[in-house]
Structure 1
Amino acid sequence: MATAVREALASARRSAVHLELRDIYTPDDPDFADWRAGVHFDPAERWRSWFDVVVATTARGVRMRRARIVSEPVSEYIKFEYDVTERHNIAAGEKVRWLPRREAADLALPGADCWVIDDEVVIFNHFDGDGNWDPATGMDVRTEPAVAKLCGSAFEAVWERAVPHAEYRPL
């Protein structure tokens, strides 16, 4: 996880929300490859640094939520994310919801995945068409109130329609 997100979460006071819009991320990820090969692993252990960041953030009373907009039928990568969400994101203290893309068609959404911290800081994550992220150029930190308002309201609109993880069944 990039330093900008770690720093933002360390300074978060009230909320941290993450809007995910893609159907695949880092297709060459060794963890994804292991999952595809049937290798069972504990995501909380394998991704301990992220797990610890979320635990520390939520322990301070920061409300962490993640909303994922997904195409259905879901991609193999989304099946992977779904499979590890309960044992990783939710176990660490995040709330996660899923929204089928067809149900998001009439929502105004940002053009890239983003984090919104305390309704003030937006961190955009940029990926190429294949889902690869370049740590040198993949993040854009913005503090303009209009950008924070746009991204925060987009997240809330998605969250309102999305299905809680425990109730969502990927097609």
Structure 2
Amino acid sequence: MTRITRRSFVLSSFAAAALVVTGLPAYAASETLEVYKTPWCGCCTAWVDHMREAGFDVRVTEMEDLEPFKARHGVSAELTSCHTALIGGYVIEGHVPASDVARLLEERPEATGLAVPGMPVGSPGMEMGDERDSYEVVLFGPAGSETFSRY
């Protein structure tokens, strides 16, 4: 029989509360999303707000030049966008919706991460009234890439 300690009870209660409050899996709400962006990018800040509103704990680091960081984390030129984030062993490139990040953390596919190449209008952080581009969220890794979701 498993013994319930005060610590395990508190931790499981926190995880359950995180799920109820955020609607995200508890482990997604408990992991920190580390965002790397340039100091002058407003749409990156709007994406960070989107992720926080979805319940993610977010830490932002501003960098003048993101290209070496992106290359070090396996983000190719065709996948690049304006900011890069790390969470749960995955890379999140660009304006990926919070629901896709939560799904990635739940499913845990073998991949480097998710990307929304470019800066499509209507993606999180790139809202401009009723305008919307169609775009894909790409699951990428050493074996190639595939569509994870479409908007």
Larger proportion of strand? 2
Computing the radius of gyration over CA atoms, which structure comes out larger, 1 or 2? Answer: 2
Pair in the same fold by TM > 0.5: no
Q: Using structure 2 for the length normalisation, give the TM-score.
A: 0.27
Q: Using structure 1 for the length normalisation, give the TM-score.
A: 0.25
Larger proportion of helix? 1
